[in-house]
A = this chain, B = another copy of it.
């Protein structure tokens, strides 16, 4: 279950401080000349260190392309890629080896597998989202070639500089829009476009809420307010309003797809916290080290990447 997608499929691998992280894209259309500069620019958006909200880990993020390409052109065969974990300092984390950090995945991974990679969060680290950006940048450029554009922005976020001072972290909400997605995308019953988007977004660390169109606000509206009337816009049928967020009956209607994703604050805080160790003894931790105050600026590219992967996948 480290694979997303049905036709355009991404399988990711890697732990935060293992040898490498990466992915395999299966089902990428052949004969596409990859724009590596675009992939680099997308990776830069995810990179740490470029904004006051983010951590200080220096990730060089040099992508090595392992297969599926001939002179930079896709072959239709699996595209494998990886990024080495050059800046891996596992000893920084030795102190956390036997402690369950609050609201991290330490405890649950150990419950599931009976073992966990304690070095920097292991497989649960936000670093493991990097391959999503690479695959998303490929999906996005293919979609752009079709005239489909995806943009996101932070529409709500806590007070970062205040939180940093207090050794605390903040969450926020990202809104994303898919422009010019064709109508008819999505399967009617268990593969609704909205369901696939929700599933994809909940694959990101710290995501706790997802809504489409007017979302939760619709719960307190009336049908007469919430309905989107159809009209004939110069020969093309579309809707006057877009409360539905471009999706009706789970299928895109040709209007802009709009959705929002709620991120909880990053659980790694510098303030001391009470917790227990692996044998259940109470202890206190204060998580030092290279951690973001807020994940949202870096999450934008991830939200877009997954939206692109889902859109290309549902098209195929």
Contacts and interface: CB of A to CB of B under 8 A. Distances in A.
Given A2-B24, A227-B267, 15 more contacts: A3-B3, A3-B190, A11-B11, A12-B189, A22-B80, A107-B248, A123-B188, A168-B222, A195-B198, A198-B210, A221-B264, A223-B268, A227-B269, A231-B282, A232-B280
A141 interface: no
19 contacts: A3-B190, A13-B68, A14-B78, A14-B80, A73-B115, A104-B249, A105-B249, A108-B253, A109-B251, A166-B224, A171-B221, A173-B219, A198-B199, A208-B213, A218-B262, A229-B273, A231-B282, A232-B280, A232-B281
A64 interface: yes
A229 B19 contact: no
Copies of this chain? 4
Nearest to A272: B224
B189 A1 contact: yes
B108 A251 contact: yes
Contacts of A194: 202, 207-208
Contacts of A27: 1
